[in-house]
Amino acid sequence: MPGSSKVITACTSLADSLEPAPLTTPEELALFMNLHDEMVYPGGNHDNAPMPMDFELLKNQFNHAVAQKWKEDPASKFIYKMKTATLLLMAYDRAAESEQCNKLIGSKKDLVIKLLSDLKDDSHFVFPDIKVRAASESEVVVPAPVGLVVPPPPSVVVAEEAVAMEVEVVVVKDNVEDWDWEAHGGRSTRQLKARIAVLKKSVYCPKCYLICKHLSSKRWKIVNGHSVSARKGRSNAYPDCDAKGHVSKDEARLWANRFRKKRTIQRIQKLIENRSNNNKSKKKKQNKQ
């Protein structure tokens, strides 16, 4: 996520520096981006697919680094502050929005900023009065007699056909079996329960991110182009990926730290439980009324 914008809010006191707050200094932003890149692209290899974000782990890494900097230089408490996972998620969203804006605007960023400034202050512009233009004879619309259907001009028919030909149907992929399927409050309870079932009965490949093992009839089956080799002393529970090779011990450990199924299942179950409690509370209020 290179080129992300800086969030500027100055630190004013030592007490303030100890309070959780969004990214406030260029140094905090640089630390956040370094930890982000190490998590998403382990070893700095940008050729592989990005790894998923774990904001709880990122929070622990960020706060540990901040504590080290405080220990090395007490004055750095004015520069670095402890963060919560929520604040780091906010910083991530802002950086992603900034990067997307940079991609859309490109080299016209200064021009857009000037345009916004001009729109806020119209004191330098004199807008002319609107002149009413009289319609020509060819533009006068004569109402058709009742019951008579008037066909549209040929130019209109051609334009409508051209527009119809340019319409492209975009299908948004949203499969609960995808490893990066997000569970949030906008999902239905049926979708959330289906996601839990998938997580309990599936194992995702650290190489291609597809389901490599599926639990069926109390037995694990190897699926989606994966196989178990005759290699002695297997170091992990992942089968070999036919497309991308053997899963090493380090890759297995790193994937287990990033993709924590048990924690994800607990979070989804909590989301369903909260929704159920909210529905019960609403029904009680309606019954009282």
Q: Is the dihedral of CA 117, 120, 123, 128 positive or negative?
A: positive
* Residue 261 to residue 263: CA distance in whole angstroms: 6
Q: Per residue in 190-208, pLDDT tens?
A: 888 998 898 888 888 888 8
Structure tokens at 282: 């609403």
- What are the start-end ranges of the E strands in 12-60? none
Q: Is the pTM of this model over 0.75?
A: no
How do strand 240-241 and strand 226-227 relate by DSSP bridges? Answer: antiparallel
* Residue 36 to residue 74: CA distance in whole angstroms: 25
Nearest Cα neighbor of 81 from 92, 95, 70 is: 70
Q: Per residue in 108-122, pLDDT tens?
A: 878 877 877 777 766
List, in order, residues 6 or more apart from 228 with CB less than 8 Å away.
Answer: 222, 239, 240
Burial of 236 per CB tally in 10 Å (0-12, 13-18, 19+) = middle
Task: List the chain domain ranges.
Answer: 14-107, 189-288
pLDDT(6) > 60: no
Q: Per residue in 223-242, pLDDT tens?
A: 888 888 755 445 457 888 88
